[in-house]
Structure 1
């Protein structure tokens, strides 16, 4: 039994004991007042009261020890059940404890069986995801390569060029979709165990992410500015956090008109490091702010843009797996601000 529980029991015994003693003394005084008080009568009353108090003390002490011993026995049963040791109680006095222990062993066995089944299913999913990743990577890469060879190495008329360009574009979309689905599945099933959080400078991770999307932003003449002290750090995995930032930045570029602007502002708080990614895009309807992080969710307002609604879902899963969280504020036709909070303390 822990100390807090023992102390609470002791307080209960003391309170009840004190109340019982006061009650006995009060009754004794009352009897002495209403009856003729001879010496023999007084001695008998005091002897009786003292005997009652002593018996009450013995009863409370024995009860306390019994309760303490029973709880310690239950604690021992649970420890043995968890560790797999068997110490069954078979006596008549211990029949309730024996029943409790038997039920505890059955519960532990059922839980272990369920855990084993979950682990088997997880391994199957892991194998399936690996197979999908391996089986689709080469065909998609070959299709993209052949389409590039057609565009670069052969004289094609305008219609043929459009068809080859279409093949290349759709292949790139298919590759991105397959990669996103694989990453999402790994996150959902807990297969990604390579999210190793270390205290690293945030500026380095942001720079890597911007480098990934820079050409995309350049095509739309979108300016990206970063305001971040190079000494600001946070606990995160550089690879996966960079992936999360890329998803946010790609969305910002996609939904921001040409000649727009994206600001990345980093602030350090006591327990979290905040990374704000602010754009001048089309914004998000207020009623959809709680929906955009759902898997495959896409607003009707952006149906003309490419996408399947995985990026932000994946971003939230990555940030959550690192012990952080993400918030968003937005105004239609004025832009959005995605705020990522990463822990900077353990």
Structure 2
């Protein structure tokens, strides 16, 4: 009888120990879950001040969150400083660039030698390039820092595509390129102004790199989740190795150094696409041509 009592007591003790360990484990998991939830919503603070492992973990998590917040604040401050600097540069260079363009035009109207005319034309071209670069930098900087926000609204893409194509039709005709606008009906959630900017960047690249006698086509393709504005050309194409780099800021493809541009159009287009929940896809084959598609969500 005594042995049974002892065995029963031992069993109860074992069950109590198991139950206590289980309770401690559940309490620890709940506390860890509370810590992670607080860390995610920004309300985390140390609550356990003893020599336990949980207290040490809280202390380490608090230090990590403090360092992360400091790093995020530093990055944000640096972005603000860069944005302010670019805005200042834009403001300070506006008048000098305008003067350069004006004097280059006046100079070209004077009786000049052939060499002098070439120099005047070069000055004008470089002034225009500088103005384009500054404008692109300001737009990109303001998009990256959130100073300029996109406001996507549901609507049809037809008007945006047709306006964009109309802007580049004269340039295509002057260069001897056939610019064709196909199916433009499509519905998406987008910011009309910035989407037009993105489509114009794609058209600008297509017309710029397509040789005389070539063709550029713009059309809208509709899918289940996205509508895509596709711009294709019969230009030189892009190698597979370079396709991963062309969306980088200031990247110029090999052999493109003689072509006008500063290498920021595709980067800006990708920024615009991503801020609307979309993306840009490039398809190309050297010697055949390229196609860039701007994918925009059909629903918010």
Shared fold (TM-score greater than 0.5)?
yes
Rate the CA distance shift 1:107–1:245 in 2: closer, same or farther, 3 A: same
Alignment-derived partner of residue 173 in structure 1: 129
Alignment partner of 2:16 out of 30, 40, 58:
58
CA 1:208–1:79: 2 relative to 1, 3 Å: same
Residue of structure 2 equivalent to 1:201: 156
Determine the C-alpha separation between the residues in 2 that align with 1:321 and 1:128. 23
Aligned to 1:6: none
- Alpha-carbon shift at residue 139 of structure 1 (Å): 1.3
Q: Is the 8 A contact 1:78 1:104 kept in 2?
A: no
Residue 201 of structure 1: how far off its partner (Å): 1.8
- In the TM superposition, residue 316 of structure 1 has moved relative to its aligned partner by 2.4
Whole-Å separation in 1 of the counterparts to 2:252 and 2:146: 26
Larger of the two Rg values belongs to structure: 1
Of 129, 150, 156, which residue of structure 1 is paired with 2:111?
A: 156
| Match status 1:288 vs 2:242 | yes
Of residues 167, 173, 178 in structure 2, which corresponds to 1:218? 173
Number of residue pairs aligned between Structure 1 and Structure 2: 298
Q: After superposition, give the CA deviation of every residue in 1:120-158 in whole Å (9 maximum; x if it has no partner).
A: 22221121111011111221122212333444xx54234
Change (3 A) 1:90 1:161: closer
Any conservation in 2 of the 1:122–1:191 contact (CA below 8 Å)?
A: no
TM-score for both structures, normalised by structure 1: 0.74
Structure 1: state its 5+ residue gaps.
1-39
Partner SS for 1:301: coil
Find the aligned partners of 1:119 and 1:256 in 2 and give their Cα distance: 40
Larger mean CA deviation between 209-218 and 300-309 belongs to 300-309
Name the SS for the 1:302 alignment partner.
Answer: coil
CA contact (8 A) 1:205 1:242 kept: yes
CA distance 1:282–1:131, shift in 2 (3 Å): same
1: CA distance between counterparts of 2:10 and 2:299? 60
Mapped pair 1:262 → 2:216 = yes
Aligned CA distance change for structure 1 residues 90 and 265 (closer, same or farther; 3 Å): closer
- Do the aligned partners of residues 84 and 339 (structure 1) sit closer, same or farther apart at CA in structure 2, a change above 3 Å counting? closer
